[in-house]
Structure 1
């Protein structure tokens, strides 16, 4: 019998201590270099409510060569994955949720060039990360990214202009972030592959960029709780692919989009599905 189990495919830890896995990896590191790590076959790792986990050590991450899915939820001491990310080049999905101390995926002085090796990442989700101030430097190099969801990151300073470089992005959600933001970055208008765009909880957002009408692949547009957004774009009719428009708790838009009599009603009649709530 080996001193430790080889973990096949998945590792699921929920509300347990980090120490047993630390001990397993310590034992593994004492073996000859020709021996395989117990993590080397993992494809999915789910970590939830691990109270004593502060980081993902380099010596572990360097063995996660085949890891495709990493989900971290409610790990209050986790502050960064900056050093580990350079090894996780097979990742397809990375979700980090409700980690109060989490600040970054990249070091402050890092140019982010390690992201050039992330040729598989398709989905990146950040939710309820109260100390996250910016997206990681170098993320613009991930040409494969299709989904970016940022929610309840109240200290996010804003979205960078280099977001325009995410040319494969199809699904973008920005919700409950950057409360002082008065407009969206111009780079969003260059995301010509974008199919779904959700903008939610921007109390100071006053206008949308007219160039958003260049998003010719956009099929779904959702605008939620933007009380100071006063009007829709004049060029909405250029969104030829738009199938679904949903407006929720935006009092100014509700009035202007009132069926047949609202000033903005002619701009949106080409969309087959319209939902304006409350009615």
Structure 2
């Protein structure tokens, strides 16, 4: 189908305005139809495999939206931001955001700032995703400017992508009410973190201090095993499951893990050079389960 035919087909579809869920898949047109923004009651919105879309118009007008899925859009460069009268009006219902395989995506920007965007002068005063509970970002190496996500609770996955969105979020001093006793560090409510394939040698101590509620942690693709776990003592009372994956270090040294008194399960996956069970595992007295999964050679 020609791109022009695809655009015309999408234009004539024009669903009812009370539509709750919409998925646009493998659409080959260069822009979306205006009727999309009249579907104000959308709760779930998916964009997948739209190979020619370079910009998504502002989406924060979908005030009922709970799930937003953007994937496999190789030409997508940015997502527009019109501006809100208040940060509470910015995606007020959004709970889950998934962005996958958008290699050119650089982030959110004001609609009138296209030229500045090309000069890498990004708008950095976006309101946060205040109600977002779950976030997945995979294979988005250029995604560097996006709203902060300090209140995540359920899940954060950041793999093969820029570390900047996470670093920016964790650099915020506090979240919550204005009174000091109500303020909490960003991501202090997060329960599950999956991080891998990013350009960083270690998880900074300040980050680990913030992750005070973390129960499940998966770290993959670091060249050295010791550095990522240097500050694990900050998770000693909460962490229940740890996954170590795709490490290249021959001699695993993770003495810092011995302080994880709440740890119940540790998993090794795709650690090809793991020759023996690390000696420090014996020191984890609370550990009832060890999984060694796929392509590991343990003697």
Q: What TM-score results when the alignment is normalised by the length of structure 2? A: 0.72
Is contact 1:45-1:69 (8 Å) kept?
A: yes
Residue 291 (structure 2) aligns with: 275
Query: Is 1:46 the counterpart of 2:59 in the alignment?
Result: no
Instruction: Write the distance in 1 (CA, Å) between the matches of 2:74 and 2:83.
Output: 19
Match of 1:99 in 2: 102
Q: Which stretch shifts more, 182-191 or 93-102?
A: 182-191
- Is 1:220 matched up with 2:241? yes
2:189 pairs, out of 165, 168, 173, with 168
Aligned residue pairs total 251
**TM-score between both structures, scaled by the size of structure 1:** 0.77
| Residues 269/12 of structure 1: CA separation in 2 closer, same or farther (3 Å cut) | same
User: Aligned to 1:187, what secondary structure does the other structure show?
Assistant: helix
Of residues 90-99 and 224-233 in structure 1, the stretch that sits farther from structure 2 once superposed is 224-233
Does the CA contact (< 8 Å) of 1:235 and 1:267 recur in 2? no
3-state SS, counterpart of residue 265 of structure 1: helix
1:107-155 CA deviation, whole Å, 9 max, x = no partner?
A: 754444511xx331011111111323x474x525x224432101222x5
Kindly report which structure 2 residues correspond to 1:69-218, keeping only aligned pairs within 5 A, or say none: 69-81=67-79, 83=81, 87-105=90-108, 109-115=122-128, 118-132=129-143, 134=144, 136=146, 139=148, 142-153=150-161, 156=163, 160=167, 163=170, 165-178=186-199, 181-190=200-209, 191-215=211-235, 216-218=237-239
1:11 to 22, 28, 33: 22
Partner Cα distance (1:165, 1:24) in 2: 37
Q: Secondary structure in 2 aligned to 1:255? A: coil
Whole-Å separation in 2 of the counterparts to 1:20 and 1:210: 47
Question: How far apart in 2 are the matches of 1:274 and 1:135?
Answer: 39
Post-superposition offset of 1:266: 2.2
CA distance in structure 1 between the partners assigned to 2:169 and 2:253 by the alignment: 25
Structure 2 spans left out of the alignment, 5+ residues:
1-13, 85-89, 110-116, 171-184
Q: 1:250 to 1:16 in 2, by over 3 A?
A: closer
Superposition RMSD on alpha carbons, in Å?
A: 3.0
